[in-house]
């Protein structure tokens, strides 16, 4: 497991829980002051198609790293660009290749950027500054979420439409790292 500084990781127990909404909120809040990169990680285990929605593909390669430059496509990665991310990447990886995929991407990135990432499975191979799990009681729990939920710095409740126990002020950047503080940050 590798430590990746300046990475905040957002996971969720199920689809349509608010991952993209939280990611874009963070990008909108912090991109005026910091260089923010958006990252989406889709990990394929086999037999987990129900959790990938429109992203159902069968990888022939071990992994793919795509850079998204289209901010009008309506995809989650496009929403990150619209929110203010300087660049956005989408890793599509077989679970056994995820470590290699993230290593390859990190080597390409500026060390001074902050990364906002949507993924559960990435937590199996990296230690981020902060890991937030969104718990949606309205959808079935993904195996990838149950594997890592105990590693979360905090669990945000969602009813599928809004967060019920979270305020964006609980997330901050201090001393070059993402931070979580349930009492909030003042600047």
Closest CA to 41 of 133, 123, 122, 126: 122
Residues 126-153 have pLDDT tens digits of 999 999 999 988 888 888 888 999 999 9
This prediction has a pTM of 0.89
- Report whether 80 contacts 24 (CB < 8 A): yes
- Report whether 68 contacts 81 (CB < 8 A): yes
Domains of the chain: 2-180 (3.40.50)
pLDDT tens for each residue of the chain, 187 residues long: 899 999 999 999 988 888 889 999 999 999 999 999 999 999 987 654 444 445 445 566 789 999 987 766 556 778 999 999 999 999 999 999 999 999 999 999 999 999 999 999 999 999 999 999 999 888 888 888 889 999 999 999 988 778 888 899 999 999 999 999 988 876 5
Residues 30-42 have pLDDT tens digits of 999 999 999 999 9
Inter-CA distances, 126 with 8, 12, 36, 155, Å: 11, 17, 19, 18
């Amino acid at each position: 497991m590798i430590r990746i500084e300046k990475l905040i990781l957002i996971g969720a127990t199920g689809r349509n829980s608010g991952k993209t909404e939280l990611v874009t909120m963070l990008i909108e809040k912090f991109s005026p002051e910091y260089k923010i990169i958006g990252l989406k990680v889709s990990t394929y285990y086999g037999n987990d198609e129900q959790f990938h929605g429109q992203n159902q593909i069968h990888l022939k390669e071990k992994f793919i790293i795509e850079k998204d430059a289209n901010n009008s496509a309506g995809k989650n990665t496009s929403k990150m660009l619209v929110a203010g991310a300087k660049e956005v990447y989408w890793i599509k990886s077989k679970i056994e290749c995820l470590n290699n995929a993230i290593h390859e991407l990190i080597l390409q990135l500026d060390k001074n950027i902050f990364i906002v990432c949507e993924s559960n499975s990435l937590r199996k191979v990296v230690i981020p500054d902060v890991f937030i799990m969104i718990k949606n009681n309205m959808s079935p729990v993904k195996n990838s979420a149950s594997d890592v939920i105990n590693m979360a710095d905090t669990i945000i409740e969602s009813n599928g439409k809004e967060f019920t126990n979270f305020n964006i002020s609980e997330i901050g950047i201090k001393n070059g790292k993402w931070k979580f503080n349930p009492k909030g940050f003042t600047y």
